């Protein structure tokens, strides 16, 4: 990832999936100039997403450390305090998908 500019802790991650309840949990977001990382724990597993900017405010995301491959997209208005988008798991006939939103928590300065 490019140099981390800000770290947002206590962000709210909402995961929406059809025919299932909405899941809300906390996550950490590390923002760089053209990419960012999302880090959280789900069902006892650390989930780490890497999101790369493809156009201003439009990001392509992939998990980097999970047994099940996940990919998605997130979008942000200029200097907005949240990201919204689509996600999917890539596990053949058992794949799942939905929408997600991340509301940024209070920013902290990144330390090197």
Give the CATH number, domain containing residue 9. 2.40.128.120
The rounded Cα 112 to chain-centroid distance in angstroms is: 22
Does the residue 47 lie in any domain?
yes
Does the residue 111 lie in any domain?
no
Read off the pTM. Answer: 0.87
User: Is pLDDT of 111 > 80?
Assistant: no
H or E, element range at 47: strand 45-55
The rounded Cα 28 to chain-centroid distance in angstroms is: 9
For residue range 6-62, what is the model confidence (pLDDT) as tens digits? 899 999 999 998 777 788 999 999 999 999 999 999 888 899 999 999 999 999 999
* Count of the separate structural domains present in the chain: 1
Domain encompassing residue 26: 4-105
CB 107 within 8 A of CB 29: no
C-alpha 40/C-alpha 109 separation (Å) is 20
Does the residue 112 lie in any domain?
no
């Amino acid at each position: 990832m490019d140099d981390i500019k800000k770290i947002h802790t206590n962000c709210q991650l909402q995961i929406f999936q059809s025919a299932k309840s909405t899941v809300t949990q906390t996550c950490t977001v590390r923002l760089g100039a053209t990419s960012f990382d999302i880090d959280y724990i789900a069902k006892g597993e650390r989930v780490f997403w890497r999101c790369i900017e493809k156009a201003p405010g439009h990001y392509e995301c992939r998990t980097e450390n999970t047994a099940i491959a996940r990919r998605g997209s997130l979008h942000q208005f200029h200097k907005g305090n949240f990201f919204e988008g689509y996600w999917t798991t890539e596990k053949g006939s058992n794949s799942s998908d939905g929408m997600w939103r991340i509301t940024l928590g209070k920013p902290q300065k990144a330390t090197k």
